[in-house]
Amino acid sequence: MPAFLSALLREPLVHFVVLGAALFAVYGALDRDRADAPVAIVVSRGQIEHLTIGFSRVWQRLPTAGELDQLIRDHIREEVYYREAIAMGLDRDDTVIRRRLRQKLEFVSEDIAALAEPSDGDLQAFLSSQPERFRTEPRFTFTHVYLNPERHGDRLAGDAAVLLARLKTAGARADVSTLGDRFLLPTSFDSVSGSEIGRQFGEPFARAVDDLAPGEWHGPVESGYGVHLVLVSARTEGRLPALEEVRDAVRREWENAQREKVNEALYQRLLARYMVIIEQPKAAGAGDNPIGIAER
């Protein structure tokens, strides 16, 4: 044995290294059989705090010692199953897990999109690009007299004409409280929007009211219920609002548009990181590429 070697073998450091290597090998062998070498599950103070906060947010009080113990035990049980399941690959090929993860990643881009602060210029541009969407509705003050087709039958048109003549004579001050037939909706409406009229009478009636010249009786106007004689006493035109009047709505819609834009752009960027190869099913027709991704 060369002198330098025997000197080396007497070095405590070398003993230590050799011993360490041997131990490492033994542990390595043991680690292949994990039942013999427990892996740590550390329930950190932070996690305990997290469990405690979670409980108190549900129950509006702190957990008792026993409840906290239960929470921790349940957390450990879940962690054990989680790790084993991941090790077994149980997360793969599971539609629920795949979709959930996709959803979470999409949420990342939504979260990022939500960080964008629109300037007044952004909002103004958005408003100007689709003004009709934010236009205020015309509003109507009107009175109507209802004729129920069930009660008038063939005489409906004639009865309506007679009544209309009477109303035209009486004009805007006509007392309608006893005219026409009983009706469950109110007789007069004060400054209601066209869409509200549409909801209560049907869209065609709302459009017809929009076309009536104010100040005189018109009719018969058809609704979902029958025919009406209508006096529009006042109308306020719809208009394009200034940004200040509709800022909340514009901002909400701007954010929604951003969200959709960033989501789609992110997907395209992520997709660009992959080479997608679609193998054609044997029976599929040539040129049938419904998802628009290049075949390679």
β-strand partners of 228? 146, 221
Instruction: Output the smallest distance, CB 17 to other proteins, in A.
Output: 31
Q: Which stretch binds other proteins (CB under 8 A): 18-26, 79-87, 229-237, 262-270?
A: 262-270
Nearer to other proteins, 140 or 225 (CB): 225
Angle between helices 247-272 and 95-113 (to 10 degrees): 130
Q: Which of 12, 88, 92, 117 binds other proteins (CB under 8 A)?
A: 117
* Contact between 61 and other proteins per CB under 8 A: yes
Residue listed under structure tokens 């979260």:
111
Nearer to other proteins, 49 or 91 (CB): 49
Instruction: Output the smallest distance, CB 102 to other proteins, in A.
Output: 9
Q: Are strands 217-222 and 227-236 parallel, antiparallel or unpaired?
A: antiparallel
Whole-angstrom distance, CA of residue 236 vs CA of residue 140? 7
Whole-angstrom distance, CA of residue 38 vs CA of residue 35? 6
* Contact between 252 and other proteins per CB under 8 A: yes
* Residue span 204-233 as binding mask against other proteins, x where in contact by CB under 8 A, dash where not: -x-----------------xxxx-------
Residue listed under structure tokens 């979902």:
224
Q: Provide the 3-class DSSP secondary structure of residue 122.
A: helix
Count of all residues that appear for the chain in the document: 296
How far is CA 22 from each of CA 27, 32, 98, rounded to the nearest angstrom? 9, 16, 43
Q: Which residues bind other proteins (CB under 8 A)?
A: 44-47, 49-50, 54-55, 57-61, 67, 70-71, 74, 95-96, 99-100, 103-105, 107-109, 111-113, 115-117, 148-150, 177-178, 182-188, 195, 198-203, 205, 223-226, 249, 252, 255-256, 258-259, 261-262, 265-266, 268-270
